[in-house]
């Protein structure tokens, strides 16, 4: 094989020269590693072959039809082992057929290389005889039609085909089936085939992996072909066609294909896989299904990193594609923005001091504002995305929930979000729930204490189908910001769901869950943003370096912060740890780098610190999203510059009162 690698070097590769690259190029998505110029293959003389055409028909969508179809599949392993190959169509309701008693059709062609007509008939007769036999005693009659044609070679057959129409609106989902499903429970197989083939669609079966695939003798001992192919008898394809340029129908069909029908096929044998060239590009488990998962994918990724460390070759869903982000011209492929989660109505009481136990005080004032950590951070992201007074360069989506018909949402929350540049299309209004509330006590010095009643933030955010949809929908965020005002299990599920996407996760675990966060979940976080208190509380989960007495202190020394950060890196596998230190500034530590501090900015008069932390998080997340949108990767992201800007935004925020009203626009940072 002749290739040019990402460094521009021409190379000849084979089983002894660059064997790992040769291994990956053969079946591992060769376009991800190098440009192939030529390949040497072994040629064989044309072989005589026999063409076998068949059609079985019965009553449309009847139980007889599905029993017939499942029985047909139980013969495929034997047919394949005897050299048969080809394809067939499962059409439960042929709408071109006026007679419904024959509109349920199963038809196709098989080719039998080096087989005579008599030999081909001998292989197919058990199928025909079984369908003509026991099925005649069922409710519906089964009609059988066959035709057998000897051919000089495969090219003769191929020349009889007409050019196909191109440019149709279609998406394919697929899965590879072996003996496990084809020779397993035939009732389960029949029900599954019926379930994945809606009346207005069809299913395509291809028998293309014969003994030559299962028993291949490969130069070099192996290649990178998906291991499931070695066990496969049927490549099952679920085509989904929609009206031309109908985006709504496309999204609906894709969602059902990805979230309902393909999982039903996978339930037949979960450890198989799919043929990447005829599969759903939105599949969230693409690493497992298309590239073998686990050790197989990791080996491919190691080759990718060795021969293309800068990501010159990229496609979706090739090996390593999630390490880069496409900057789309439309929202169809992805987005630059972030998603946030909790919404509250803030009842802010300003007082000289908070009362002690049993004490009643007269406060100075009461303000009702839109708030919630998710809403505050969304507003901060939105305001940070303005590059002028009327132009944004980053899209910001707010995901959350409010009580149905809540007047505060319509009159206060939604206008506040939209004026700040936040899209509200993913906010749900939930029946029999109330909008989350926060009671905030603000003292004269600006210090605050907050009590939160979650309401819809918890009631609606436990919906597993909603979470799966968010994590697998085609329009994915570049950066996802999460905090802890939604249910703990929801956060854990989202961290896992988004771990297989290109989304970068910024996690601000406030308020800290009493149960903590499992290490397995923390490993999916790219940027951990905490204040000193939160750092201490999470530190109890990961610290091997500091004693409980040391990390029980609220104020940590620089050395203790470094020690905790290293524990987060080493034990929880978090790449970047950011600790806000209030007026002292920001501490940050990235794996493999020295710890640094961004000094705090002097603020003459602190009025309200309620939204300071959320402003910091939002501005930081937007800087990250902006960098990825412009550069495609965050590898050269200047963390210190982003934190300095976020710190400046927080410093301006504390000079104002309220949560959302205190968050500045980016053009104010530039001129303040």
Q: What is the 3-state secondary structure (H, E, C) of 88-141?
A: EEEECCCCCCCCHHHCEEEEEEEEEECCCHHHHHHHHHHHHHHHHCHHHHCCCC
pLDDT at 598: 93
Q: What is the CATH number of domain 339-671?
A: 3.40.1190.20
Q: Identify the CA nearest to 381 among candidates 19, 84, 665.
A: 665
Residue 277 structure tokens: 């060239």
- Write the DSSP assignment of 362-424 as a string of letters: --SEEEEEEE-HHHHHHHHHHHHTEEETTEESS--EEEEEEETT-HHIIIIIHHHHHHTT-EE
Q: Which residue has the tokens 């002028």?
A: 388
Are the beta carbons of 26 and 224 closer than 8 angstroms?
yes
Bridge-based pairing of strands 436-443 and 448-453 is: antiparallel
- Strand intervals (E) in 317-364: 339-340, 344-351
pLDDT at 469: 62
pLDDT per 10-residue tile (average), the chain, 672 residues: 96 96 95 96 94 97 96 97 97 95 97 97 96 77 96 91 84 97 96 95 95 86 94 97 86 91 94 96 91 92 92 90 59 49 87 93 91 91 90 88 88 91 85 89 86 86 68 71 89 83 88 86 91 84 64 72 89 92 92 90 88 95 90 81 95 89 88 46
- Strand intervals (E) in 454-503: 479-483
Are the beta carbons of 614 and 440 closer than 8 angstroms?
no
Residue 511 preceded by cis peptide, ω within 30: yes
Handedness of CA 265, 270, 272, 277 (dihedral sign): positive
- Long-range contacts formed by 564-572: CB under 8 A, 24+ apart: 564/535, 564/539, 565/589, 565/595, 567/539, 567/542, 567/543, 568/522, 568/528, 568/538, 568/542, 571/519, 571/542, 571/544, 572/519, 572/522, 572/523, 572/525, 572/542
Are the beta carbons of 497 and 471 closer than 8 angstroms?
yes
Environment class of 454 (CB within 10 Å of its CB; exposed 0-12, middle 13-18, buried 19+): buried
529: left (phi over 0), alpha (psi -120 to 50) or beta: beta
Are the beta carbons of 530 and 579 closer than 8 angstroms?
yes
Handedness of CA 625, 630, 632, 637 (dihedral sign): negative
Q: In Å, how far are 14, 29, 199, 211, 228 from 217, measured between CA atoms?
A: 15, 20, 43, 11, 17
Domains 45-161 and 339-671 share a fold: no
Phi first, then psi, for residue 124 (nearest 5°) are -85, -20
Cα 278 to Cα 238: distance, rounded to the nearest angstrom = 9
Cα 407 to Cα 79: distance, rounded to the nearest angstrom = 67
Domain ranges in the chain are 2-38, 45-161, 167-292, 339-671
Q: Which residue has the tokens 């999982």?
A: 263
Instruction: Look up residue 316 and give its DSSP letter.
Output: T
Residue 128 structure tokens: 């025909």
Environment class of 354 (CB within 10 Å of its CB; exposed 0-12, middle 13-18, buried 19+): middle
Q: Identify the CA nearest to 70 among candidates 208, 203, 172, 201.
A: 203
Cα 371 to Cα 416: distance, rounded to the nearest angstrom = 9
Cα 344 to Cα 330: distance, rounded to the nearest angstrom = 32
Q: Identify the CA nearest to 228 among candidates 183, 284, 141, 294.
A: 294
Phi first, then psi, for residue 175 (nearest 5°) are -160, 150
Q: In Å, how far are 19, 391, 536 from 222, measured between CA atoms?
A: 10, 54, 50
Q: Which residue has the tokens 């030529």?
A: 38
Are the beta carbons of 615 and 653 closer than 8 angstroms?
yes
Neighbouring residues of 160: CB distance < 8 A, sequence distance ≥ 6: none
Q: What is the CATH number of domain 45-161?
A: 3.30.70.100
Please list the residues that pair with 430 across neighbouring strands: 403
Count CB neighbours of 16 within 10 A: 9
Count CB neighbours of 366 within 10 A: 10
Environment class of 176 (CB within 10 Å of its CB; exposed 0-12, middle 13-18, buried 19+): buried
Cα 238 to Cα 485: distance, rounded to the nearest angstrom = 40
Neighbouring residues of 298: CB distance < 8 A, sequence distance ≥ 6: none
Handedness of CA 36, 42, 46, 50 (dihedral sign): negative
pLDDT at 64: 95
Are the beta carbons of 543 and 570 closer than 8 angstroms?
no
| Helices of type H across 258-344 | 262-266, 286-291, 294-307
Are the beta carbons of 322 and 281 closer than 8 angstroms?
no
Instruction: Look up residue 152 and give its DSSP letter.
Output: S
Q: Which residues of 87-97 are buried (b: 16+ CB within 10 A; e: fewer)?
A: bbebbbbbeee
Are the beta carbons of 299 and 292 closer than 8 angstroms?
no
């Amino acid at each position: 094989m002749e290739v040019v690698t990402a460094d521009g070097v021409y190379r000849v590769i084979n089983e002894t020269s660059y064997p790992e690259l040769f291994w990956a190029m053969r079946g591992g998505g060769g376009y991800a590693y190098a440009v192939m110029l030529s390949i040497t293959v072994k040629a064989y003389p044309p072989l005589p072959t026999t063409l076998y055409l068949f059609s079985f028909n019965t009553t449309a969508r009847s139980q007889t039809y599905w029993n017939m179809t499942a029985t047909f599949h139980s013969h495929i392993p034997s047919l394949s082992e005897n050299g048969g190959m080809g394809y067939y169509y499962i059409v439960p309701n042929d709408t071109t057929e006026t007679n419904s008693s024959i509109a349920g059709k199963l038809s196709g062609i098989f080719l039998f290389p080096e087989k005579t007509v008599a030999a081909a008939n001998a292989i197919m007769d058990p199928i025909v005889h079984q369908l003509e036999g026991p099925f005649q005693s069922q409710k519906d009659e089964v009609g059988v039609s066959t035709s057998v044609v000897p051919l000089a070679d495969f090219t003769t057959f191929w020349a009889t085909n007409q050019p196909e129409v191109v440019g149709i609106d279609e998406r394919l989902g697929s899965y590879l089936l072996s003996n496990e499903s084809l020779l397993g429970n035939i009732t389960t197989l029949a029900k599954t085939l019926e379930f994945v083939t809606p009346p207005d669609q069809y299913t395509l079966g291809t028998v293309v992996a014969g003994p030559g695939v299962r028993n291949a003798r490969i130069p070099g001992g192996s290649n990178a072909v998906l291991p499931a192919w070695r066990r496969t008898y049927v490549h099952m394809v679920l085509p989904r066609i929609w009206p031309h340029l109908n985006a709504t129908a496309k999204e609906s069909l894709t969602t059902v294909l990805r979230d309902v029908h393909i999982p039903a096929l996978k339930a037949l044998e979960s450890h198989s896989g799919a043929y990447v060239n005829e599969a759903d590009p939105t599949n969230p488990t693409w690493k497992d299904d298309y590239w073998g998962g686990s050790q197989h994918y990791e080996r491919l990724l190691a080759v990718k990193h060795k021969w293309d460390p800068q990501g010159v070759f990229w496609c979706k869903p090739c090996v390593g594609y999630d390490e880069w982000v496409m900057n789309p011209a439309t929202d169809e492929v992805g987005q630059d923005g972030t998603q946030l989660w909790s919404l509250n109505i803030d009842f802010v009481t300003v007082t000289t001091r908070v009362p002690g136990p049993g004490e009643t005080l007269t406060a100075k004032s009461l303000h009702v504002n839109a708030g919630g950590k998710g809403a505050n951070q969304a507003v901060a992201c939105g305001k940070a995305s303005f590059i002028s007074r009327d132009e944004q360069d980053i899209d910001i989506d707010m995901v959350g929930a409010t009580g149905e018909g809540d007047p505060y949402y319509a009159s206060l929350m939604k206008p506040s979000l939209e004026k700040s540049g936040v899209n509200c299309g993913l906010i749900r209004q939930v029946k029999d729930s109330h909008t989350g509330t926060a009671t905030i006590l603000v003292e004269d010095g600006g210090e605050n204490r907050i009590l939160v009643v979650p309401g819809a933030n918890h009631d609606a955010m436990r919906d597993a189908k909603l979470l799966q949809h968010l994590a697998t929908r085609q329009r994915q965020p570049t950066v996802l910001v999460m905090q802890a005002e939604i249910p703990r299990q929801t956060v854990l599920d989202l961290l896992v769901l988004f771990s297989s996407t290109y989304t970068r996760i910024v996690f601000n675990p406030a308020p800290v869950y009493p149960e903590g966060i499992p290490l397995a979940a923390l490993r999916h976080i790219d940027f951990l943003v905490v204040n000193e208190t939160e750092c201490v509380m999470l530190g109890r989960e990961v610290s091997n370096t500091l004693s409980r007495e040391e990390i029980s202190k609220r104020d940590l020394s620089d050395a203790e912060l470094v020690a905790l950060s290293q524990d987060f890196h080493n034990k929880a596998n978090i790449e970047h740890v950011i600790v806000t230190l209030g007026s002292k500034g920001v501490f940050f530590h990235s794996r493999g780098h020295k710890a640094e501090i961004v000094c705090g900015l002097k603020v003459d008069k602190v009025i309200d610190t309620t939204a300071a932390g959320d402003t910091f998080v939002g501005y930081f997340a937007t800087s990250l999203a902006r960098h990825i949108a412009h550069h495609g990767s965050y590898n050269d992201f200047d963390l210190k510059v982003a934190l300095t800007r976020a710190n400046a935004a927080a410093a301006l925020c504390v000079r104002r009162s309220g949560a959302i009203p205190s968050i500045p626009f980016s053009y104010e940072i530039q001129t303040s």
